[in-house]
Structure 1
């Protein structure tokens, strides 16, 4: 199959299934982040009084990145602190944090500017995972590679139980989930999860539909598995995974079948971007409202693409590379949900179809892919203030169709297993 591997091999018509909708309930915020915020605030609060009495409270508060605190903790604890309420400059910083969270929920906040306070510090930014995929050798990988932000280097982590190409990958609650894909022999519906605390992958409940080329998104707790394809069909199916009960259930299908689709949660919606309907690559985009259990079409992209990467940065959706049918793309588009508009930004340094994409430290990272001639192991990052992509190193294995996600864990938790067992030297 072609490197993008996002359309049915036999060119048959796509299909969708009629599913019973599921109405999700509201979820609590991520407990691990809330705990970290509480502990950090206790440490800060113990010395808060001396800074307050010395008139240095604002200087100290400037060093705390209030916008990155969980919103419930921000409003329920920090905003109620008398010393903060009594300082005008501190109240301005608190307003900045509140406005940042309003932006994340797709609200319009005039004149808001992103700053260093809206960007995580290196030691709290998490770990970038590159999971599975395939290279020139043909067989899908079990291997994962992890990016150390502080050392600016990649290393191998513990391998998955299954080989997986065109796998859906996401991180929720400090764990990494790998869903579906193809193992070289058959399509997969199973899921496994990596826990940095145990440094192991464990099998979890399987989806109802086996498929590759799916996209994952998390909104308010649950994980959504969107679209995908097998050798005969592209799917409009969407399944919702409840982490607590370890169960999958169907939600409303998309309006359009989408194999090789990209997805991200932005504000109060889950977006499905591009993909292939079994005939051609798509420029159309739709979004899911979990409260209405309904998909609605939004403004389409300027470029048809499947096997593209999608990520969020500064309240906007970025769609990176992909295939226009069989040709890999270097173009990148940005969608602003507040303006309901798309615009092109700087192009990748090389075309990348089947690329893995995630946001780290205020930059969008594009990992691997296929440029039309070879599988890639290079990694590049987009700096929005400079509107520029630059190469930032490489993974060890040339791979396309890998899943990329940022896990909220510390790099020291993940064991380096050396070179891994997948002996891949052929990038062609």
Structure 2
């Protein structure tokens, strides 16, 4: 049963607000459209793919006796409100496409084609002009929680605090603190957990890793990397986590390690062609990209990608701007690189790389320069958290909307910080314990 992707697509429930979420159609309502509705808001959730299947195809799940006087499927379920592109392609083609009601309804087929084209657009050069819509955006309840982990502020002391953003409530709150202080830490979320790797604790470089589980609200220590370092980047491709580049007081590293979650084991893989401290990374179209960084002499504009089948790094087209301490994220099948430093000068520029056309282009600039910024994609927008503008550490947060090509300020974290790790975890904000300010010192932004 494929549950997580389906959770972003759909919830069918009675229009009565007091009715609970259920696994099948409720027995106490007629399922005609006047009693059953798909809410058009982005605030719904679903726990299992089975719920989605029952909602889409009630007849196959024993719900046909409750269809009452409905004369067509489209009157029972507002199919156009289902976010089909967010369902797994195997479910779309293996289940949805085979349903007679879909085969017989032109509108349903058009929507299925849209979902198929969405997956083709993300995975290959096909359908380059695909148009995004509300159906390709996750609902708020299933979008996840934005984590801002570690970093440092004006005092220079690294943080162990984390701050979490709930898009439902539009607010930041402190979550349970890490076991170690970590600045220039690598952070990623995989499988509903948040991983914090490496960094510097104020005394020494770290190779340790800890993992936050929203179900237990605890950080647990896991296997350490082979190389202690800060300024690393993390990416996840096909299950494993990749720890890329980084630096210590003497060396910028080209080293790359791969972590197997099930065996709790790190192993070395092919090194990059170029040492990269303060590098950014993301997985995109079956490759892991390493973007920018510093080779120990200067900031870099070069980019390379890792092919796990060949265990090889391949040079790709370089950026227009050299940068290190930049944020990297994926949105709509493109790679975005945000801010960073050109040597010591913080940057406000943002570039977008489309692997289908192999082209870089500049998009709208940040509202302020941000070196050491953390970024992540949430609800179809890129969030940039904190950083340093050349004069002070920042606590402001801004978000980029690709449709209007604009950044706008959307709030602030409590601590001014740079060198924090930022990631989106597929969990509910209500699962995470709000610890208040915690034991971390609030520091001057200067």
Which of residues 34, 38, 50 in structure 2 aligns to 1:38? 50
Measured after TM superposition, the shift of residue 280 of structure 1 is: 0.3
| SS of alignment partner, residue 78 of structure 2 | helix
Whether contact under 8 Å (2:211, 2:222) holds in the other structure is yes
Measured after TM superposition, the shift of residue 38 of structure 1 is: 2.9
Measured after TM superposition, the shift of residue 206 of structure 1 is: 0.7
TM-score (norm 2): 0.86
Matches within 5 A, 1:354-373: 354-373=372-391
Cα 1:52–1:91 shift into 2, 3 Å: farther
- Distance between the aligned counterparts of 1:30 and 1:285, measured in 2? 34
Higher relative contact order (CA 8 A, sep 6+): 1
Partner residue in 2 for 1:410:
428
Instruction: Supply the RMSD in Å over aligned alpha carbons.
Output: 1.8
Measured after TM superposition, the shift of residue 98 of structure 1 is: 1.5
Measured after TM superposition, the shift of residue 46 of structure 1 is: 2.6
Matches within 5 A, 1:88-237: 88-237=106-255
Whether contact under 8 Å (1:354, 1:401) holds in the other structure is yes
Choose 1 or 2 for highest CA Rg. Answer: 2
- Distance between the aligned counterparts of 2:276 and 2:3, measured in 1? 33
Which of residues 401, 421, 424 in structure 2 aligns to 1:383? 401
- Distance between the aligned counterparts of 1:55 and 1:41, measured in 2? 14
| SS of alignment partner, residue 99 of structure 1 | helix
| SS of alignment partner, residue 198 of structure 2 | strand
Measured after TM superposition, the shift of residue 88 of structure 1 is: 2.0
Measured after TM superposition, the shift of residue 42 of structure 1 is: 2.5
Whether contact under 8 Å (1:240, 1:249) holds in the other structure is yes
**Deviation sequence 1:112-144 (CA, Å, 0-9, x none):** 111111111111100000000000121100100
Partner residue in 2 for 1:344:
362
Partner residue in 1 for 2:21:
none
Measured after TM superposition, the shift of residue 95 of structure 1 is: 1.6
Whether contact under 8 Å (1:179, 1:192) holds in the other structure is yes
- Distance between the aligned counterparts of 1:367 and 1:379, measured in 2? 5
Matched, 1:71 2:89: yes
**Deviation sequence 1:204-248 (CA, Å, 0-9, x none):** 111111110000001111111111011100111111111111111
Partner residue in 2 for 1:295:
313
- Distance between the aligned counterparts of 1:157 and 1:410, measured in 2? 13
- Distance between the aligned counterparts of 2:221 and 2:423, measured in 1? 18
- Distance between the aligned counterparts of 2:324 and 2:76, measured in 1? 48
| SS of alignment partner, residue 148 of structure 2 | strand
Q: What 5-or-longer segments of structure 2 have no aligned partner?
A: 7-46
Measured after TM superposition, the shift of residue 44 of structure 1 is: 3.9
Cα 1:133–1:76 shift into 2, 3 Å: same
- Distance between the aligned counterparts of 1:418 and 1:39, measured in 2? 36
- Distance between the aligned counterparts of 1:150 and 1:167, measured in 2? 27
Measured after TM superposition, the shift of residue 97 of structure 1 is: 1.1
Which consecutive aligned stretches of 4+ in structure 1 deviate over 3 angstroms post-superposition?
29-35, 47-53
Whether contact under 8 Å (1:330, 1:351) holds in the other structure is yes
- Distance between the aligned counterparts of 1:44 and 1:277, measured in 2? 53
Whether contact under 8 Å (2:125, 2:357) holds in the other structure is no
Cα 1:163–1:352 shift into 2, 3 Å: same
Whether contact under 8 Å (1:106, 1:268) holds in the other structure is no
Matched, 1:308 2:326: yes
| SS of alignment partner, residue 376 of structure 1 | coil
- Distance between the aligned counterparts of 1:192 and 1:55, measured in 2? 49
How many residues are paired up? 400
Cα 1:255–1:406 shift into 2, 3 Å: same
Measured after TM superposition, the shift of residue 40 of structure 1 is: 2.8
Measured after TM superposition, the shift of residue 172 of structure 1 is: 0.6
